[in-house]
Amino acid sequence: MADSQAIPQKRPLQSEDSTQPPRQKPHSAREKKDSWRKKDALNPPVAGSIGSGPNSTGKYTGSNTPKVPNDHNQAVQPGLARYRLPAPQFQDYYGHRAPPLSEAETPDTPGEWYAVNDHPMNRRGFRYSPCEASKSLPALSYRGTEYEPFNARINFEDMNPQVHIGEEGMAITTAKGWRMARANVGIREGKWYYECKILNGIKDDNISGGHVRVGWARREAPLDAPVGFDAYSYGLRDQAFNKLHMSRPKEFLQDKSFVTGDVIGLEITLPPMGEQRQISGDPTVLSGDIIRDRLPIRFKNQLWFEHFEYQPTKEYEDLMNPSTPNKPQNTPKTLPGSSIRVYLNGEYVGMPFEDLYAFLPPASKPLTIVGGRELDDGSLGYYPAVSVFKGGAVEVNFGPDWICPPKGLEDDVRPVCDRYNEQIAEDVLYDMIDEIDLLFTPTPVIVNGRGAANAADAGRKEVIKEMVMDDE
């Protein structure tokens, strides 16, 4: 018989007459680990520009904004992300030029129309705004800015690429199907008014020169669909003067259409932000914090902030499909006392919409898969929005002088043009708060997807990535 010591054993052999059971190593409770899917959801990559993969042109990678450490393992309010950014170039300090315009062919629309060139346009997951380097904000390094024309107007970054504009940026048209554009100012509370003049639409003899729809839209409303297409916008349809929400036209004015030359006035009323935060119930929203996750990128040798854009959610999509067996468990919250009132050529004609849907988180959410967080970045609200169809053309007027002064308009209703300077003042205030926060709050630095810079990164020269955008 072979020597038993030559046989590999997991444990020493015991004698046959031993009555003691073999000793077993005590097992500790198995630690449950997160799945890869859950890890990706908790720490997704931050996509700093259009593209995919770590080596894509213009790709910026990062991670979810870290929270300030808490020794007591208590819930912590989310904080501002601190990115290690490269030093600005000389020309980055000297303003932002307006994108060039080129004359566009619009055979179905009279007048001169222009295409906007050499600037990024908002798309799924991201939106863009001009920025510049700032010596007065050493921690932030960059701040938002504006370019000409310096007034409330159509937002050149927040319109469909197939939309053409008038020379002053106040009118739009398209040769394609339904396309939409939003204004560069949004409404969050209070009473506000603007008007739209139909430049090319249904004629008096009911012959169509194109179609126009006007109204108010949230950030999630798509730019390749008309106002009123989904639950994120409220619109008026030129044909039959229907009110339109979630693509369901309903009667508003009987035996009436608004036609070329008509002026449609739109007044919106929203409750104070304090009431809206209570309706939201979200802890971060209740605190009143405005947290802006944004990175500077370079496009056509100019700086732009890239923001996470708010996206449609299943909760709102289910509202458009009432036949869906699984109805949403949580009906979206509304804003009591909110409304939209309509004027036709200066005459009040009715209130087509009341109790508008709330827009503060959790009602609005960015794409978490690209690093967005469920926060209010100050851009949420309702925006003046107009849409055009195959030659339709419309001009917006944000005041203070009206084409058709609305009769009976209350004294506390403000022209939308006032919101332009207010918005700039708010942005400056947020910049100062963020600067102080970065100077005095111990926040980890995010560099290329890691929570802090390492020695290898310390001596590396970085530049802001150049973004490449594909054609529509």
* Between residues 453 and 369, the one the model is more confident about: 369
Check residue 369 and give its pLDDT: 84
Check residue 278 and give its pLDDT: 97
Check residue 245 and give its pLDDT: 96
pLDDT in tens, 166-215: 999 999 999 999 999 999 999 999 999 999 999 999 987 677 789 999 99
Check residue 470 and give its pLDDT: 55
pTM of the predicted model, to two decimals?
0.81
Judged against a pLDDT cut of 50, whether residue 56 lies above it is answered with no
> What's the domain range around 299?
38-318+328-458
Q: Of 234, 252, 231, nearest to 321 (Cα)?
A: 231
Q: Is residue 25 part of a domain?
A: no
- Contact call for residues 112 and 103 (beta carbons, < 8 A): yes
- From the number of C-beta atoms within 10 Å of its C-beta (0-12, 13-18, 19+), residue 54 rates as exposed
Q: Is residue 293 part of a domain?
A: yes
At 75, list the tokens. Answer: 């819930």
What's the domain count of the chain? 1
Average pLDDT over residues 457-467: 49
Check residue 55 and give its pLDDT: 33
CB contact set of 443 (below 8 Å; sequence gap of 6+): 66, 68, 79, 80, 81, 82, 437
Judged against a pLDDT cut of 90, whether residue 125 lies above it is answered with no
Q: Is residue 454 part of a domain?
A: yes
Judged against a pLDDT cut of 80, whether residue 253 lies above it is answered with yes
Judged against a pLDDT cut of 60, whether residue 120 lies above it is answered with yes
Q: Is residue 440 part of a domain?
A: yes
Check residue 165 and give its pLDDT: 97
Q: Is residue 464 part of a domain?
A: no
Q: Is residue 4 part of a domain?
A: no
How far is residue 118's CA from residue 100's CA, in Å, rounded to a whole number?
7
Give 3-state DSSP helix, strand, coil % of the chain, rounded to 5: 15, 25, 60
pLDDT in tens, 4-17: 444 334 344 444 44
Work out the angle at residue 121's Cα, subtended by the Cα atoms of residues 267 and 268, and round it to the nearest 5 degrees: 10
Q: Is residue 161 part of a domain?
A: yes
Q: Is residue 211 part of a domain?
A: yes
pLDDT in tens, 259-316: 999 999 999 999 999 999 999 999 999 999 999 999 999 998 899 999 999 999 888 9
Share of the chain above pLDDT 70, in %: 75
Judged against a pLDDT cut of 60, whether residue 36 lies above it is answered with no
Judged against a pLDDT cut of 50, whether residue 370 lies above it is answered with yes
Check residue 446 and give its pLDDT: 56
Check residue 68 and give its pLDDT: 41
The CATH number for 253's domain is 2.60.120.920
- Contact call for residues 267 and 249 (beta carbons, < 8 A): no
Judged against a pLDDT cut of 90, whether residue 396 lies above it is answered with yes
pLDDT in tens, 419-455: 999 999 999 999 999 999 888 877 655 544 333 333 3
